[in-house]
Amino acid sequence: MHWYADGGAEGFMVSRVNPKTGKPVCLRKNTCLVENTDTLFATDSAKLTASGRARLEEFFRTANAFGYAIYGHTDSRASNAYNQGLSERRAASVAAVARSQGAAVERQIGFGETRPIAPNDSPANMQKNRRVEVICYRW
């Protein structure tokens, strides 16, 4: 008999495998929310707007995952250190809402400007980089 532990879950000969390791995995992880921080926070702030808080509360009430990872990102307009701190504070704000809805936050990380999804060469591209990503862990 073989089983493999995956994030606290155990699976017996599951059919899904990690493509890098070839080992069975029990969890299904997917990016279940990517929200532009302009819709959640005021500029240069980690305090959620009322509408941003309501949006996140509804999301975490209905997402039906057993755990979450929350990643904060910024554009490159400020210093690396400042952006790192802002992304961490924003991830913490989103995680606090998740926990208030009974969600289990497994990871909470701020990446600052280190993982852009677009070049920081225009206002539209910088807006794409200002985001919070929520990863859902499901069976």
Instruction: Give the Å distances, CA to CA, from 44 to 56, 71, 105.
Output: 19, 17, 24
pLDDT digits 0-9 by tens, 23-72:
665 666 788 999 999 999 999 999 999 999 999 999 999 999 989 999 99
Q: Which domains does the chain have, with CATH numbers?
A: 27-138 (3.30.1330.60)
Question: Cα separation of 61 and 54, whole Å?
Answer: 11
The better pLDDT of the pair 63, 22 is held by: 63
Instruction: Give the Å distances, CA to CA, from 136 to 43, 61, 65, 69, 129.
Output: 27, 13, 6, 7, 20
The pLDDT of residue 24: 62
Query: What's the token pair of residue 61?
Result: 């009430």
